[in-house]
Structure 1
């Protein structure tokens, strides 16, 4: 996502990082380097106060960090950082950055509308989301075992483009790539999936499964091993779109001349 900013000539004076704890606080430092004079905001709108405090600590203070991340986060000190949506004025940011957030929204159209409300005219949104080919190996495995789908169905990039237009954005640009990640154990696979987010599938089993089922799952995941590791596909969708100029309202009346009225009356009725 950050590399794609080189193709965008707009230079934001302020930008908003949406849910940086999930999307990656490392990106915050990269964006600060690219836009060193811009005001930065970071928002975790659904987080508990303790999580919000954690966010501010990670972004404002490098204490306890190490390596390049420590050096990156140290540059963020003194910036305006917030954790509540009402801390940012509507229409006040020139870029909204949202990595790996949109596919986890129960109502993505409402989230897109919220993002648009925070953007200034000619501002833009940059986002990424998981696409429908994500975890296809596990989906196929669950289907063979007769289990409900492991996740909700992820949205195709063309549908995201349509939804951006419906939300009022302009000039959406979408692309995607498929990445294969390998894991050394079923336990590591499940840890990664838990950290990725939520399962919004309406077919999700509401019952709590026990150790026996977990053992079955571990055994099933081991059948996916190739050369000692478990490969999983992740389709990553990238998109950006602009906040357009407001449209003028169309008046409820139309003016026509007397000659036009006479011509209309002379026409034979169908």
Structure 2
């Protein structure tokens, strides 16, 4: 028996389609919206007292190359690491972020380090993940991976799309009797629960609505294609024809004509979150399994907390 609809939690994502989208390079640059969200999320770092000595940018090619530079400017003394979960995108990311031989960044030793092998075993003080979580077919597994990459007392900073995203387009598809326009997006409270379940502490969640507008349906759809794809398992399974596209343009134009300025407008909900990684705790039992990394951390804390 399938899980009851009332308790089923997004995402409703086709894992194969999600993996295919993840391999798509962001060409010629990171999506404009992702860069803007990265800029806004970077401003939120001012409210966090901790100053990381190291930080990891997760999937910056699509998450935002300009956003990476903003975080690097905020923490100029911190060693940065870059990890693309899709190995095929690492070369393009390294080419985009690596400083040329004549750059002063090389003289100051400010070059990021690339690849999973370069990340310290004990983790980093900040893991930065911009606009990645909403496209993960197994978000709980991804959050667990992030938890492993964060050092004790370090923190995770992330953003993703929220449930109200493209509600106008979803409504239009529903009215036309078409399959879903996109997969569902998770509510920020559910993200908070998943963070705690993965071992993070003190999650702080926030959200905002952004209204995007375009002069034409063509411009709207062109930008939406840079942001993502319809990953819903029940999406239309074949290729659409020109007549369907013309009908979509017509319906979008009708929606734009009803607005006060004649522009086509769509809502985007952005969820922001951050959470800290506390020291590991071991439940008392006759037999307990502890990783070598966690055992080392607990021993170090025991020595530093001991008195003479």
Aligned residues: 241
Aligned to 1:68: none
**1:238 maps onto 2:286 in alignment:** no
Tell me how large the CA RMSD over aligned residues is: 1.9
Whether the 8 Å contact between 1:29 and 1:76 is mirrored in structure 2 is no
Deviation at 1:215, TM superposition (A): 1.1
SS across alignment from 2:127: strand
Instruction: Kindly report structure 1 stretches of 4+ aligned residues shifted beyond 4 Å.
Output: 74-78
Q: Is the 8 A contact 1:149 1:201 kept in 2?
A: yes
Determine the structure 1 residue equivalent to 2:57.
Answer: 17
Rg larger in 1 or in 2?
Answer: 1
- How far apart, CA to CA, are the structure 2 residues paired with 1:158 and 1:103? 14
Query: Which shows bigger deviation, 3-12 or 83-92?
Result: 83-92
Q: Is the 8 A contact 1:90 1:117 kept in 2?
A: no
Partner of 2:145: 114
Output the TM-score relative to the length of structure 2.
0.74
TM normalised by structure 1 equals 0.84
After TM superposition, give the deviation of residue 24 of structure 1 in Å: 1.1
Query: What does residue 173 of structure 2 align with?
Result: 142
- Asked if structure 2 preserves the Cα contact closer than 8 Å seen for 1:90 and 1:119, the reply is no
**Residue 62 of structure 1, CA deviation:** 7.0
The equivalent position to 2:95 in structure 1, one of 25, 49, 57, is 57
Which stretch shows the higher mean deviation, 244-253 or 88-97? 244-253
2:79 corresponds to:
39
In structure 2, runs of 5+ residues without a counterpart are: 1-40, 288-308
The verdict on how the C-alpha distance between 1:76 and 1:126 changes in structure 2, with shifts beyond 3 A counting, is: farther
